Amino acid sequence: MIIRIAYQNDKNLFYFKNLSYFTSLEKITNYDNIVHIDCYYNQLSVLPELPNSLQKLYCSKNQLSVLPELPNSLQKLYCNNNHLSVLPKLPNSLQELWCFNNQLSVLPELPNSLKELNCFSNQLSVLPELPNSLQYLHCEFNQLSVLPELPNSLQKLYCNNNQLINKRKYKYLNKMIYL
């Protein structure tokens, strides 16, 4: 499979190709300048310490059960389709979180900068307070019985296949809603 790494101020992307899946990712040369790591669709069970400069981490479709501490510069985290039961503290800079198809029963506090949350197909029974910046919420196929207050910024809400007690409360919002 492929691991793609992008460095700061560098138009070239570095690809590491392998005929089979990668099972580990070691510390990389010029580590502090990395802004994008794309290591999806491998068999990684652990990630190394992440660089402080990292803005995008795409580690979907691996065997991860835990994530390392996330850098404050991170804007996009795609960690879906793993074996995660908990997420680390989310940085204030995070704008997109894709954590669907894991084993999450709870989410950490969501940063105010978050615009998109894809947490469907987990074991969530409750969602944390939603930030005012949130535009897209995909929380279907969980065990939610109630939703937190929905921010005015929300444009699309997908929460079908849950255990929502009062669906009528949400049907009259002027949004795209799928209950």
pLDDT tens digits, residue range 76-108?
Answer: 999 999 999 999 999 999 999 999 999 999 999
- 164 vs 177, residue with greater confidence: 164
Is pLDDT at 121 greater than 90 in this prediction? Answer: yes
Q: Which domains does the chain have, with CATH numbers?
A: 1-61 (no CATH), 84-179 (3.80.10.10)
| Dihedral over alpha carbons 42, 44, 49, 54 (to 10 degrees) | 20
pLDDT above 90 covers what percent of the chain? Answer: 59
Q: pLDDT for 136-156, tens place per residue? A: 999 999 999 999 999 999 999
Whether the predicted pLDDT of 175 surpasses 50: yes
Please say if the pLDDT value at position 8 is more than 60.
Answer: no
Which of these ranges, 35-49, 91-105, 111-125, has the smallest mean pLDDT? Answer: 35-49
Those residues whose C-beta lies under 8 Å from the C-beta of residue 137, and which sit 6 or more positions away, are 117, 130, 150, 154, 156, 157, 158, 159
DSSP 8-state code for residue 167:
T
First-to-final CA distance of the chain:
37
Residue 19 forms beta bridges with which residues? none
Question: What's the confidence (pLDDT) of residue 178?
Answer: 56
Mean pLDDT across the stretch 17-21? Answer: 48
Secondary structure (3-state) at 168 = helix
- Please check the confidence at residue 29 and state whether its pLDDT lies above 70: no
**Whether residue 32 has pLDDT greater than 80:** no
Higher pLDDT, 17 or 115: 115
Q: What is the pTM of this model?
A: 0.84
